[in-house]
Amino acid sequence: MEEFAALLDALVYTTSRNRKLALIAAYLRQAPDPDRGWALAGLTEGLDFPAVKSSTVRNLMMERVDPVLWALSRDFVGDTAETASLLWPEPEDAAAQPPLTLAEVVERLAALTRATAPKELPLLFDRMDAKGRYALIKLATGGMRVGVSARLAKTAFALAFDVSVEEVEEYWHALTPPYTELFQWAADGGPAPDLAGVPRFRPFMLAHPLEDGEVDLADYAAEWKWDGIRVQLVRAGGETRVYSRSGDDISASFPEMLTVLPMDAVLDGELLVRGSAQGGEAGGAASFNALQQRLGRKTVSGKMLKEAPAFVRLYDVLLLDGIDWREHPWKSRRATLEGLMPRLPASHFDLSQLVEAEDFAALAAIRDTARDEAIEGLMLKHRESPYVAGRKVALWYKWKRDPLLVDCVVMYAQRGSGKRSSFHSDFTFGCWDGDPDAGAELLPVGKAYTGFTDAELKQLDKFVRQNTLNRFGPVREVKRELVFEVAFDSVHTSKRHKSGLAMRFPRIHRIRWDKPAHEADRIEALRALVKD
Amino acid sequence: MTAPFSWIRPEPHGIHVVPADIWVDPSRAVPRALVTHGHADHARGGHGETIATPATLAIMKLRYATSDGAVPVAYGESIALGGGVSATFLPAGHVLGSAQILLEHAGERVIITGDYKRAPDPTCAPFEVTPCDIFITEATFGLPVFTHPPIGEEIGKLLDARRENPDACILVGAYALGKAQRVIAELRAAGHTDTIWLHGAMEAMCRLYEEHGVALGDLRLVSDATKDEMRGAIVVAPPSALNDRWSRRLPDPITAMASGWMRVRARARQRGVELPLVISDHADWNELTRTIAQVNPQETWITHGREEALLRWCELSQRRARALALVGYEDEDD
């Protein structure tokens, strides 16, 4: 456990990707089995200990620390695990017991229940120092925040044992922690894991943004960029699974998709729910707003299946009828996919149509109308491109619509988490509900915490501290003085805000230090942009 | 008959000693000022008369080119301010010359700590616990998460990193007044006798410390060195230089920072710090609470920092306290 805690700490303070890779690789080479497998799972959020929640830790702390001092500390530090690790009363006889291995810690965490956790966790905390407690809580509650993506961890694994990262990725998602077979194969020269008949994830092909410049439509085909979630549908050995973009198995959220694929295959597409906003050949799809209620569920009610039925709009084929199509050019895969469509039930599948245009300028004109259909923009795919993992230059581009902009007035601010910890960086802003010079009020329309530089973050924090009107716990109400130009992708009706509106992907586009608050936009301006 | 303690008034720009019409650490120019120590948020130029310890006056002369109206008062000495008020300067243990100021008027005693710490520091005189009625304390690290480890451990980390990276150099960000000299003096105490390289902004203050009897060993300027000379060396620079173009002249620097904020991981990450050193010239949570308990005043006033938590502690331990809303005190770099 000490080594793992030291690794986490070193990762926290390392910004360079190469240095992170080297740290993880060095750990994986020297740590014993099964510790290193558990570490890998911990770093990539592959562990789940349902008995330990952030609230479990908070409750333990409340029994030992004054609740007000706890709340002030948590607010400043911006991280429950770190605050608890620092505030936990140091045990007097910490050195008396032998240190725990990571595998022992995982075993004990896995054995906890909601009932035993409050008694057992303190015994673990007492056997560690602050660094160890931090690692333990992060491991138990998830959310490492050490800047290690699953992709980075896999790359480090490949680096540690000199194997190909693509191969690692293919096996990875079919295995479970502590990945014993993976280490046997890569580290100990054992046989490759036998995955025939396992519906496993294949790494997605991703797109680069098309910043400026043009592509020749003779070389590139255009499709709408749908506003759903990217999924991979895999059937093998008679079992179907749905994987998200990060390779997570989200089958449980979409049970209707698990019985409708009639053959073994690996298909790439957009998961959507039925509706009328996003057109398609077999009926439309609802906006992302409607899909949102289906995400992140472990079980789905019959009512929900009926009210918001899911389907997949297909745009690529990776494997079909025993053939691996990934080496083949896009145009052949497209033809294969079009040929496949009649074999699939139209209730659950449709085809992502190509957008035809005479030239790039004509395509740009078509793109500009896209928002009316709640579509995010266009995808441009090279007709000769194979299906390759990750983001390769000049094969696929995403060409998003320019964001919508609205001027809002900052109303409330809160300290952020992680990188923005201890600075006031999470803002709630509003628009006027009438003429501000005739006594109109601001109604909150959204929240954002991105889009500014580090230097601007400091200025904003200073503004908040010097212009606080009221405090509601960690939230500060500020003088209605500062205007943000807020960028967003779309706006929908919502019950969450008093204004009845909610923005999608709001971010701070510019800080308008120069603009008087009464010149900010009115609610009507925003309401006119609603597309539900 | 005036109300108790009505002769001392906290105002947004400093603490006003009314009968003597004199201000303590005012953030704007005033005719007469008492200054606790030389940091820019407490000391500034332009006052008609500045009453401070000789070392603080020397620092102010160097930093703000002010020497007119300087009235030196040594530790333990008292001075009559007029209006029946006297001031006594007592060591605060914060930086060279730093003082608590004890004000007495009509039998009432008020101490203004400025900034202070209780941990040992070879570069300045230690804090003296002195009884008073009102204790006006800082609260820069007034949250229970802030505990500063013994400085020897942190210096040990720095020396370990140096040993493990013989081809790199360790660039230590440290506040140019106080922190830098303390880190250097502690490195010397730990047996590190090699040249320590300085950013140009550190030079004059280090010399001033040496003139006040703080030995800092062999110091040289980075601008006089070649890249190869600095391999395996320790370089001390102000925090603002850490991610500045200036640091590009260094051989593969490992960025360290000596600051109490380094106790919180996110604060180190925000500054791109790879080697956080929890070294502070301010009292940590335990020092703040212990000091209030030892001084045991009738009332505690809290000037700046995380005042809410310290107020809460006072409430929990049944001590009268209030927070003062003073402007202009900054603590980002400590």
Over residues B26-54, the pLDDT tens digits come to 999 999 999 999 999 899 989 999 999 99
Averaged pLDDT for residues B100-111: 97
Q: Tell which wins on pLDDT, A193 or B178.
A: B178
The Cα A25–Cα A159 span in angstroms is 6
Contact between A86 and B268 using a beta-carbon 8 Å cutoff: no
- SS3 of chain A: helix, strand, coil, percent, to 5: 35, 25, 40
CB atoms near residue A411 (< 10 Å): 21
- Percentage, residues of chain A above pLDDT 70: 96
Q: Tell which wins on pLDDT, B266 or A266.
A: A266
The Cα A295–Cα A250 span in angstroms is 9
The Cα A432–Cα B163 span in angstroms is 61
- Percentage, residues of chain B above pLDDT 90: 83
Q: What confidence tier does A277 reach under pLDDT thresholds 50, 70, 90?
A: low
Q: Got the DSSP string for B261-314? A: GGGSHHHHHHTT-SEEE---SS--HHHHHHHHHHH--SEEEEEEESHHHHHHHH
Query: A518 CA to chain B: closest CA distance, Å?
Result: 28
Q: Report whether pLDDT(A291) > 90.
A: no
Q: Report whether pLDDT(B169) > 50.
A: yes
Give the bridge partners for A508, in sequence order.
A486
pLDDT value of residue A282: 45
- Print the SS3 string covering A294-339: CCCCCCCCHHHHHHCCEEEEEEEEEEECCEEHHHCCHHHHHHHHHH
The Cα B93–Cα A434 span in angstroms is 58
The Cα B128–Cα A508 span in angstroms is 50
Averaged pLDDT for residues A359-367: 88
A5 touches chain B (CB under 8 A): no
- Report the half-sphere exposure of A156 (CA within 13 A, side-chain side): 26
pLDDT value of residue B71: 96
Q: What is the DSSP letter of A141?
A: H
Give the bridge partners for B108, in sequence order.
B105
Give the bridge partners for B197, in sequence order.
B220, B235
Average pLDDT taken over every residue of chain A: 89
Q: Report whether pLDDT(B331) > 60.
A: no
pLDDT value of residue B334: 62
Averaged pLDDT for residues B136-160: 96
The Cα A332–Cα A344 span in angstroms is 19
Q: Report whether pLDDT(B330) > 70.
A: no
Map tokens 């707003």 to a residue. A289
Q: Which of A9, A12, A61, A80 to mutate to test the interface with B (most CBs of B within 10 A)?
A: A12
Residues 117-156 of B with CB under 8 A from A: 143-145, 147
Contact at 8 Å (CB) between A3 and A23? Answer: no
Q: What confidence tier does A150 reach under pLDDT thresholds 50, 70, 90?
A: confident
Q: Report whether pLDDT(A287) > 80.
A: no
The Cα B291–Cα B296 span in angstroms is 8
Q: Report whether pLDDT(A183) > 90.
A: yes
Contact between B266 and A76 using a beta-carbon 8 Å cutoff: no
Contact at 8 Å (CB) between A531 and A372? Answer: yes
The Cα A337–Cα A349 span in angstroms is 12
The Cα B41–Cα A450 span in angstroms is 31
The Cα A491–Cα A510 span in angstroms is 19
Q: Taking Cα atoms as reference points, which of A37, A33, A34, A27 lies closest to residue A3? A: A27
Q: Report whether pLDDT(A230) > 80.
A: yes
Q: What confidence tier does B158 reach under pLDDT thresholds 50, 70, 90?
A: very high
CB atoms near residue B136 (< 10 Å): 24
By annotation, the residues of A acting in catalysis are: 225
Q: Report whether pLDDT(A413) > 60.
A: yes
First and final C-alpha spacing in chain A: 50
Chain B contact set for A85 (CB, 8 A): none
pLDDT tens digits, B48-82:
999 999 999 999 999 988 677 999 999 999 999 99
How many contacts (CB atoms, under 8 Å) link A and B? 68
Chain A contact set for B269 (CB, 8 A): 12-13, 15, 419
Q: Taking Cα atoms as reference points, which of B256, B274, B277, B246 lies closest to residue B170? A: B256
Name the region of A505 (left: φ>0; alpha: ψ -120 to 50; beta: rest). left
Q: What confidence tier does B117 reach under pLDDT thresholds 50, 70, 90?
A: very high
Closest residue in B to A85 (Cα–Cα) = B145
Q: Report whether pLDDT(A489) > 90.
A: no
Burial class (CB in 10 A: 0-12, 13-18, 19+), A420: buried
Query: A153 CA to chain B: closest CA distance, Å?
Result: 20
Query: A454 CA to chain B: closest CA distance, Å?
Result: 8
B306 touches chain A (CB under 8 A): yes
The Cα A500–Cα A493 span in angstroms is 6
Q: Which residues contact A205 (CB under 8 A, 6 or more apart)?
A: A268, A316, A387, A388, A389, A390, A392, A395, A396
Map tokens 């145009």 to a residue. A331
Q: Tell which wins on pLDDT, A262 or B243.
A: A262
- How is residue A133 written in tokens? 């407690």
The Cα A381–Cα B303 span in angstroms is 62
Q: Which residue intervals of B85-178 are DSSP H helices? A: 151-164
pLDDT value of residue B56: 97
Q: Taking Cα atoms as reference points, which of A453, A82, A156, A475 lies closest to residue B268? A: A82
pTM strictly above 0.80: no
Average pLDDT taken over every residue of chain B: 93
Cα B99 → chain centroid: 10
Q: Could you list the beta-strand ranges (E) of A174-244.
A: 205-206, 208-209, 220-225, 229-236, 239-243
CB atoms near residue A106 (< 10 Å): 25
Averaged pLDDT for residues B147-168: 95
Q: Which of A69, A420, A423 sits opposite B144 (nearest CB)?
A: A69
Picking from A15-24, A91-100, A449-458, A518-527, which range would have the lowest pLDDT averaged per residue?
A91-100
* Angle value at C-alpha A89, between A88 and A93, nearest 5 degrees: 120
* Angle value at C-alpha B129, between B123 and B132, nearest 5 degrees: 135
Q: Dihedral sign, CA of A127, A130, A131, A137? A: positive
Contact between A421 and B267 using a beta-carbon 8 Å cutoff: yes
Q: Give the max Cα distance, chain A.
A: 78
Q: Report whether pLDDT(A361) > 70.
A: yes
Residues 249-288 of B with CB under 8 A from A: 263-270, 272-276
Backbone phi, psi, residue B309, to 5° = -70, -40
Task: Give the H or E element holding residue B87.
Answer: strand B85-91
